[in-house]
Amino acid sequence: MIKKVINSFLNLLFPSKCLGCGKENEILCKNCLGRIDYPTLLNKNNILAATDYNDILAQKAIWLLKYRGLKQIAEPLAELIKQRTLEKIKIKNPVFIPIPLSPKRLKERGFNQSELIAKCLSDNVITNVLYKTRETDSQVSLKDREKRLNNLKDSFGVKNPKLVANKNIILIDDVSTTGATITEAKKVLRDAGAKNIVALVVARG
């Protein structure tokens, strides 16, 4: 609660400036958004990325959203996804499902960054189906690929499966590295009866 009050106070004291060029009253202006690098690989294993995580501006924007609570950055990041990946999706009438956080991490952060991005992309967002079954280590802290894959194994569950049965799903996440998170999420959604599943992420690590 105190953290939220401090962030609101800081936003009043220091009006937002573009992360790229410093333009007033825009957290990430259209010109700078357009200068973010295109991904080296757009689609891998049905995970479409709008950029690569080594793009400095994208990396900074994602970090500020996740760890400094600058929620307004979700909108331009969603726009980046929309411009570069969403139009390439051919499935009809999809529902959007953000990758969830564990209850502990959600409480610490106060919001789910993937949910904010998803809600900027669509009005048809479902947040009461996919959930974390257990606390997992941060993927960023695990450098070994095998450890990252094992860290996420069987870490997702599905409730209210009728909401995804025979539905086309678009999963939303901020960053994908090994793809383990999305692979595990897809597995449980398929088991629950989901039809087609595609994932969109801001950046591929």
Question: What is the Cα–Cα distance from 73 to 90, expressed in whole angstroms?
Answer: 27
pLDDT in the model for residue 147: 55
Q: To the nearest 10°, report the CA torsion of 164, 169, 170, 174.
A: 40
The CATH number of the domain covering residues in 40-204: 3.40.50
- What integer pLDDT is reported at residue 39 of this predicted model? 96
- Rounded Cα distance between 179 and 199, Å, is 10
Quick one: pLDDT at residue 139? 47
Q: What's CA 154's distance to the chain center, in Å? A: 20
Cβ-contact 195, 138 below 8 angstroms: no
Global pTM value: 0.87
Q: Name the E strands within 119-188.
A: 130-132, 156-158, 169-176
pLDDT at position 10 is 47
- What distance in Å separates the CA atoms of residue 95 and residue 75, rounded to the nearest whole number? 19
Q: Say how many residues make up the chain.
A: 205
Give the pLDDT of residue 13: 43
Question: pLDDT at position 14, please?
Answer: 47
Single-letter code of the amino acid located at 136: T
Which pLDDT score is estimated for 21?
94
Domain ranges of the chain: 40-204
Residue-by-residue pLDDT tens, the chain, 205 positions: 554 554 555 454 445 789 999 999 899 999 999 999 999 999 998 899 999 999 999 999 999 999 999 999 999 999 999 999 998 898 999 999 999 999 999 999 999 999 999 999 999 999 999 999 987 655 454 455 555 556 667 889 999 999 999 999 999 999 998 898 999 999 999 999 999 999 999 999 8
Rg (C-alpha) for the chain, rounded Å, is 17
Q: Which residues contact 91 (CB under 8 A, 6 or more apart)?
A: 168, 170, 196, 198
Q: What is the pLDDT of residue 79?
A: 97
Structure-token pair, residue 46: 């049905």
